[in-house]
Amino acid sequence: MNEQLPNLSVMDIAEICGVARSTVSYWIARKSLQACRSGKKHLVTVDDLIFFLKSEGQSIPQILLEQAGGIYSQPFKLLKPCWEFWADHSHGKKCQHCVVFTHQARECFSAKSNQNLQCPIRCPECQYFAEYYGPRVAFIHQIDKPAVIYKNLCLWSGNRAWAELCGVGVGELIGAGIEEFVHPDSLRTVISYDKRRVQGDPTVPDRYQVALSPKSGGKIEVYLAISPLTRPANTWLAVAEVSNFKTNDNDWQN
């Protein structure tokens, strides 16, 4: 398998999923697995393969969730708290008065909306986030469909497709709560499913319909495919497929 190839061949998919090439060809022939032709070959994007496997109720190989076609090229830095990172910087003096320090929060960006946050740096411009969390979430930008990484209903990162879907900048996704993007009609369901999923409830669907609220207004119906990640630990990947976009109570666009 070509470890840097963003589009996967039938042979690649067979190796990744542990199935025969004829099985992959069948998935494509029945049009369940989206593919494009390149000469005599069929090629499939990583996110289309992830979405297909989730739709079929199959587990997602970790290799797909880490990066397009492969393994992280460099080992991650061992995580350290943000207040240790900034200890020798001028604004590090504020850290001991910050809610992140007082609560010993590991993911400082999850507190970005807290009124007791003392950090003067925006998450998208933060050197600490870029060095310690950026590499861990970089694979999200290899996925074409709208996708986010989250933990405890707080986004760690999202790709441009998700940002465009919700009408915000990519940087605004860092540390955002899911309530900022999930429509009130779906919020209770999303919270309930997440709680049960974390508790290991096997009856929680891995793919279900959710309404999102774009910043411009309206209501977007999507199917979310949820997958657990081992890197970053205890996080989840959500990949969306848009079904309908509603601009008002009587207007649906497919």
Q: Does pLDDT of 245 surpass 70?
A: no
Question: In CATH terms, are 7-66 and 144-253 the same topology?
Answer: no
Give the pLDDT mean for 228-250. 76
For every residue of 117-135, DSSP letters joined together read: ----S-GGG-HHHHHHTHH
Strand partners, 212: 182, 220
Bridge partners (DSSP) listed for residue 238: 148, 226
| Residue 66: predicted pLDDT | 59
Q: Which CATH class is domain 144-253?
A: alpha beta
Q: What residue ranges do the domains of the chain occupy?
A: 7-66, 82-132, 144-253
Is 230 a residue whose pLDDT tops 80? no
Does pLDDT of 3 surpass 80? no
Judge residue 30's burial from the number of C-beta atoms within 10 Å of its C-beta, 0-12 exposed, 13-18 middle, 19 or more buried. exposed
State the pLDDT at residue 251: 52
Mean pLDDT estimate for the chain:
85
Q: Which tens digit of pLDDT belongs to each residue from 48-67?
A: 788 788 777 777 787 776 54
Average pLDDT over residues 141-152: 90
**What per-residue confidence (pLDDT) applies to 69?**
39
How many whole angstroms separate alpha carbon 1 and alpha carbon 63?
A: 12
The residue behind tokens 């008065």 is 97
Q: Reply yes or no on whether the pLDDT at 218 is more than 60.
A: yes
Q: Which residues contact 21 (CB under 8 A, 6 or more apart)?
A: 10, 11, 14
Which fold would CATH assign to domain 7-66?
Answer: Multidrug-efflux Transporter Regulator; Chain: A; Domain 2 (1.10.1660)
253 has pLDDT over 70: no
Q: Name the pTM for this structure.
A: 0.70
pLDDT of residue 64: 74
Q: What is the DSSP string of 139-198?
A: GGGG--S-EEEEETTEEEEE-HHHHHHHTS-GGGGTT-BGGGTB-HHHHHHHHHHHHHHH
Distance CA 212, CA 168 (A): 13
